[in-house]
Amino acid sequence: MILFFNSCAQLKTKEALDLVKKISKQIPKSFYSNPHLLTSLLDALMKCGDVAHAESLFYSSKEKVLPMYGAMMKVGEDSEIGYTGIKSLKNS
């Protein structure tokens, strides 16, 4: 699952985003407690341009680990999306 999300993150396309959303809706909710899986999902959502969904998952996560913050911020090098992610993290 993590490899799938990582692959989609590298593609950065609408098709990849659609696949990420489809698969993320089908996985059991208990998987969201896995910080590695959630970080990979956040990374894919941010890189494919769905900041709102990524923020929602980030804020609803009970256990935030450092790589999650990185996933929310590292898009900044490529686009304005990263700036939005950084601004939202200031309030968390």
pLDDT, tens digit, for every residue of 26-73? 999 999 999 999 999 999 999 999 989 999 999 999 999 999 999 988
pLDDT, tens digit, for every residue of 3-16? 999 999 999 999 99
Name the pTM for this structure: 0.82
What does the angle CA 61 – CA 9 – CA 66 come to, to the nearest 5 degrees? 40
State the DSSP string of 5-62: HHHHHHH-SHHHHHHHHHHHHHS-GGGGG-HHHHHHHHHHHHHHT-HHHHHHHHHH-S
Could you tell me which of 22, 74, 89, 12 has the C-alpha nearest to residue 47? 12
Residue 83's SS3 state is: helix
Q: Where are the domains of the chain?
A: 2-90
